[in-house]
Structure 1
Amino acid sequence: MGLFDDDFYSTKVSRRVRTTSSRDEFAFSNKKGMRSWSNVRVAFVASFTSAVAAVLLFVLVFGGGGFGPGSHPASVSASGSTSLEQRTIQASAKVRPAVVSVINEQTVPYGLMPDTGSTEDGTGSGNDSQVQGSKQEVGVGSGVIFKLENGKAYIITNHHVIANAESVKVLLVNGEKREAKIVGSDQITDLAVLEMDGKDIKTVAEIGKSSKLQPAEFVLAIGNPLGLGDSLAMGIVSKTHRIVPVSLNEDGVYDWQQEVIQVNVSINEGNSGGPLINMDGKVVGINSMKIAEVGVEGLGFAIPIDNAMPIVDSLMEKGYVSRPYLGVYTVDLEQYFAQQQMTDQPAGGDTKAGKGEGSANEDSAEVQDLPDLKLPDEVLDGVIVLEAVGPAKEAGLALNDVIVKLDEQSIGSTMELRKYLYDQKKIGDDIKVTFYHDGKLKTASFKLEEKTKDE
């Protein structure tokens, strides 16, 4: 996903110190003073004092669970650490049987064999077992079983884990491999749902509430990092709500913003799609990506489970996510101007155009192929229409029109267009598009339709 990749880093678990204190005060009042007490009362007080002293000595020597006026800090700290360790063990044991490895298989075309090593003379592949034109394992990620129904087990994973897969296999924690089917997938949210035979599947992960997470709360990431199999990593929640830009088409152009949980648990390649769980063993996020830059460590991200479950429900019901559909494929005007400044340079690195409202696999035009645009000098931000279809085409938008507003909201990029459309509008809503056509400012109003799976 552009600069974002899947990578996880494990941190040292800090000890949690709990201290509780209580004080019991005993007052004996006698107007004549202690010297007038009876022998019985003096004996009672002496016995009680001895008993209290014995209890305090026991607590100091053996530790008393962190209570009483003489609680020892070291005893309390050790007790708290043991409690955290037990919660970690119990939480992971609760979820681990529901965590699976997800294998993406694709046909390797002739002449495009993956580099699996060199022979002694430095030429050719070192793996003779792979045959060009056959299906090969091209990627491995993780997933979590969240539902059992009618003999089927359903798995949440990332879209990028199963993207372009011709077949998908699931590896259970016991080592058994099963065929899986893609129920639905959504590139925008990077989520997908798989279905497999539910025979002998006993454990289903419990879904928690990401809205209840707090900064510094301990969390566990479970998955299949680097293809090594079942693995755990622990850390804390760095920030419960973070917005990061992503490149949906992996072309270096940020065209979406993802809402994520930031954690200092690292997500290594293969950890993607696995669950992020709290200390109660409940899924609070789906591990998704990291900042993949030199010198950056412990900066991983997970999709909040509160955001994920409505998408999962839509994928289960329809196989896709229902969103309002404007019907334009666009490129940012800023990219166009940048390309215009490079016209004197030799043809080389092609600059790809942005892909409209979020479609995954359109063939995009190159910015350098666009004709000169007729725009007022003050217009520097907007999106160029590469193709208009559906409702936009019917409303009169065409190639090379430049959209500058949706309703009264200024639009300066494809990202802003998507965010306004998906966050602020619903299917069936009216929308007003303000755009330049042959240098003239125009508007078009129409109803937003539903974007189907094919579109």
Structure 2
Amino acid sequence: MGFFKDDFYSTKVKRSSREPSGSWNRPSRWGRQNSALKIALVSSLASSVLVASLFYLTVDRPKSGAAAPALSSSVSAGYDTNEAIISAAAKVGPVVVSVINQTQSGSAKNEASIAEGTSLGSGVIFLKQKGKAYMITNAHVIADSVKLQVVLSNGTKKTATVVGKDTITDLAVLETDDKGINQVADIGDSGKLRKGETVIAVGNPLGFSDSLSNGIVSNLKTTVPISLNQDGVYDWEEEVIQISAPINPGNSGGALVNLNGQVVGINSMKVADTSVEGIGFSIPIDDAMPIVDQLMEHGKIKRPYLGVYSMDLSIYLDNKADSEDEAPSDDGDAEASPNSNGDDDDVPAGDELVIPDGVTDGAVVLEAVGPAKAAGLAFNDIIVSLDGHPISSTLDLRKYLYTKTQIGDTLDITYYRDGKKGELSVKLVEKTENDG
């Protein structure tokens, strides 16, 4: 008997019920054709089931309880982001100005130059009051200025004056009349930024006014070393927002903006590494505004003053090692190191630096003035701690002084002089412009 009976799927009464028992009837031609058709249909159905089963067993499927993959929405998301960028740019555009600085030396470093003795930067209008408009910019943008102008987004030029500046934070405030200025920046909250968030940088790069670039927040808090007087020696560290949007010369002082059109940072070229492309840094607006408030009130930032000019002990040791390596190999008359026997009488105090064994970090005093001199600090003293906090460099000294102390505080200093450990206290006073 075959696998399929002719009447397996038939709804008719079986032929055997109508024929006498034991009789055999030869199938008709139609019956044979109908049987072949049924076999073909069933074979086709079985093949389909087999293929479906194999596909089910081999295809990758979500695990039990896992959500099914969502359909791509990149087209819609991209359109929304573009519209948000356009809207944010339109909102912030009128409050970003170009800053033209006519300098004394003709070399405002790191900024775009449009003529001999003239450089360009950017600024952000943040306040209008009593007929005046006020702008935030970078301190280095207005360095060595003789004459300052701001150019509004509509091309109007205005003479500007400096309300205050601070080289440590690289921030400054400018003032001009408010005629024709109808809008101020919407100040946002940089603390709410998220890594990967889209932002735009608006400014005056390379002299192209009202220019913008977009990118993402690469790092919410990046610490970068900077040179305060731009002499190539790093003497401060700045905590900044790292972004993928490049900050080019002339863009300094411009706005970093979120997609709501709110200013969340002040861009700075000063902290950028010119050897790196496609990266930028911005001073968080949460850090900038307290400085701006003090500049508006006092014209400067009031900081405690110690009165010490110093260098890193590690730099001294490196230079000394290099000098010894370069010395003639046949020089057998070189004196022993003054700290080899610890005898203070071998080397008069102040003539040569005496470094105790095991001391490799600290700040070497090059000159003590003001409060430090009055308290007894002297040339070649090696400062190793302030208030019990270890000091390994001049940068450590400055950061502790500016972030952990206040004017009028008494600072306890631990130091080495001629190889011997000492301690003294200094009362900090207010730093003035003449203190350098």
Residue matched to 2:160: 180
Conservation of the 8 A alpha-carbon contact between 2:88 and 2:261: yes
Conservation of the 8 A alpha-carbon contact between 1:222 and 1:274: yes
Residue matched to 1:97: 94
Letter in 2 for 1:271: N
Conservation of the 8 A alpha-carbon contact between 2:98 and 2:122: yes
- Deviation string, structure 1 residues 308-350 (Cα, Å, up to 9, x no partner): 001111111111111122121111122222333454769xxxx
CA distance in structure 2 between the partners assigned to 1:265 and 1:108 by the alignment: 31
CA distance in structure 2 between the partners assigned to 1:272 and 1:424 by the alignment: 29
Q: Give the secondary structure class of the aligned counterpart of 1:78.
A: helix
Conservation of the 8 A alpha-carbon contact between 2:136 and 2:173: yes
CA distance in structure 1 between the partners assigned to 2:379 and 2:168 by the alignment: 25
CA distance in structure 2 between the partners assigned to 1:97 and 1:276 by the alignment: 14
Q: Which has the higher contact order (CA 8 A, sep 6+)?
A: 1
CA distance in structure 2 between the partners assigned to 1:86 and 1:453 by the alignment: 48
Residue 245 (str. 1) matches residue 245 (str. 2)? no
Conservation of the 8 A alpha-carbon contact between 2:306 and 2:429: yes
Cα drift, residue 137 of structure 1: 3.8
Cα drift, residue 446 of structure 1: 2.9
Residue matched to 1:267: 247
Letter in 1 for 2:94: P
Residue matched to 2:266: 286
Match of 1:337 among 317, 328, 347: 317
Q: Give the secondary structure class of the aligned counterpart of 2:78.
A: helix
Residue matched to 1:319: 299
Residue 412 (str. 1) matches residue 412 (str. 2)? no
CA distance in structure 2 between the partners assigned to 1:240 and 1:376 by the alignment: 41
Q: Give the secondary structure class of the aligned counterpart of 1:244.
A: strand
Q: 1:437 to 1:447 in 2, by over 3 A?
A: same
Residues 190-209 of structure 1: matches in 2 within 5 Å?
Answer: 190-209=170-189
Conservation of the 8 A alpha-carbon contact between 2:363 and 2:393: yes
Q: 1:108 to 1:396 in 2, by over 3 A?
A: closer
CA distance in structure 2 between the partners assigned to 1:371 and 1:103 by the alignment: 49
Letter in 2 for 1:163: A
Q: 1:279 to 1:241 in 2, by over 3 A?
A: same
Residues 377-388 of structure 1: matches in 2 within 5 Å?
Answer: 377-388=357-368
Aligned identity (percent) is: 54
Letter in 2 for 1:220: I
CA distance in structure 1 between the partners assigned to 2:296 and 2:92 by the alignment: 22
Moved more, 276-285 or 78-87: 78-87
Which runs of no fewer than 5 residues in structure 1 stay unpaired? 1-71, 115-129, 131-135, 347-369
Letter in 1 for 2:362: G
Q: Give the secondary structure class of the aligned counterpart of 1:454.
A: helix
Which runs of no fewer than 5 residues in structure 2 stay unpaired? 1-69, 110-114, 328-349
Q: Give the secondary structure class of the aligned counterpart of 1:314.
A: helix
Conservation of the 8 A alpha-carbon contact between 2:219 and 2:241: yes
Residue matched to 1:397: 377
Letter in 2 for 1:177: K
CA distance in structure 2 between the partners assigned to 1:177 and 1:422 by the alignment: 38
Residue matched to 1:297: 277
Cα drift, residue 445 of structure 1: 1.2
Letter in 2 for 1:288: S
Q: 1:154 to 1:293 in 2, by over 3 A?
A: closer
CA distance in structure 2 between the partners assigned to 1:317 and 1:416 by the alignment: 29
Residue matched to 2:411: 431
Letter in 2 for 1:202: N
CA distance in structure 1 between the partners assigned to 2:229 and 2:405 by the alignment: 23
Residue matched to 1:221: 201
Letter in 1 for 2:171: L
Cα drift, residue 450 of structure 1: 2.0
Letter in 2 for 1:216: G
Letter in 2 for 1:423: T
Cα drift, residue 192 of structure 1: 0.8
Q: Give the secondary structure class of the aligned counterpart of 1:207.
A: coil
Residues 146-185 of structure 1: matches in 2 within 5 Å?
Answer: 146-185=126-165
Residue matched to 1:53: none
Moved more, 245-254 or 306-315: 245-254
Residue matched to 2:423: 443
CA distance in structure 1 between the partners assigned to 2:288 and 2:367 by the alignment: 31
Conservation of the 8 A alpha-carbon contact between 2:105 and 2:144: no
Cα drift, residue 264 of structure 1: 0.2
Conservation of the 8 A alpha-carbon contact between 1:159 and 1:186: yes
Structure exhibiting the larger radius of gyration computed from Cα positions: 2
Letter in 2 for 1:329: Y
TM, length-normalised to structure 1? 0.70
Q: Give the secondary structure class of the aligned counterpart of 1:322.
A: coil
Root-mean-square deviation (Å): 2.4
Residue 141 (str. 1) matches residue 121 (str. 2)? yes
- Deviation string, structure 1 residues 403-432 (Cα, Å, up to 9, x no partner): 111111111111111111122222222210
Residue 376 (str. 1) matches residue 373 (str. 2)? no
Match of 2:78 among 70, 77, 81: 81
Q: How many pairs does the alignment contain? A: 338
- Deviation string, structure 1 residues 34-77 (Cα, Å, up to 9, x no partner): xxxxxxxxxxxxxxxxxxxxxxxxxxxxxxxxxxxxxx946x54
Q: Give the secondary structure class of the aligned counterpart of 1:95.
A: helix
Conservation of the 8 A alpha-carbon contact between 1:319 and 1:453: no
- Deviation string, structure 1 residues 217-245 (Cα, Å, up to 9, x no partner): 11010001111221010111011111111
Conservation of the 8 A alpha-carbon contact between 1:221 and 1:233: yes
Letter in 2 for 1:161: V
Residue matched to 1:18: none
CA distance in structure 1 between the partners assigned to 2:129 and 2:117 by the alignment: 29
Letter in 1 for 2:273: A
Cα drift, residue 300 of structure 1: 1.0
Conservation of the 8 A alpha-carbon contact between 1:103 and 1:137: no
Cα drift, residue 270 of structure 1: 0.6
Conservation of the 8 A alpha-carbon contact between 1:246 and 1:256: yes
TM, length-normalised to structure 2? 0.73
Conservation of the 8 A alpha-carbon contact between 1:95 and 1:203: no
Residues 350-365 of structure 1: matches in 2 within 5 Å?
Answer: none
CA distance in structure 2 between the partners assigned to 1:371 and 1:86 by the alignment: 69
Q: 1:197 to 1:233 in 2, by over 3 A?
A: same
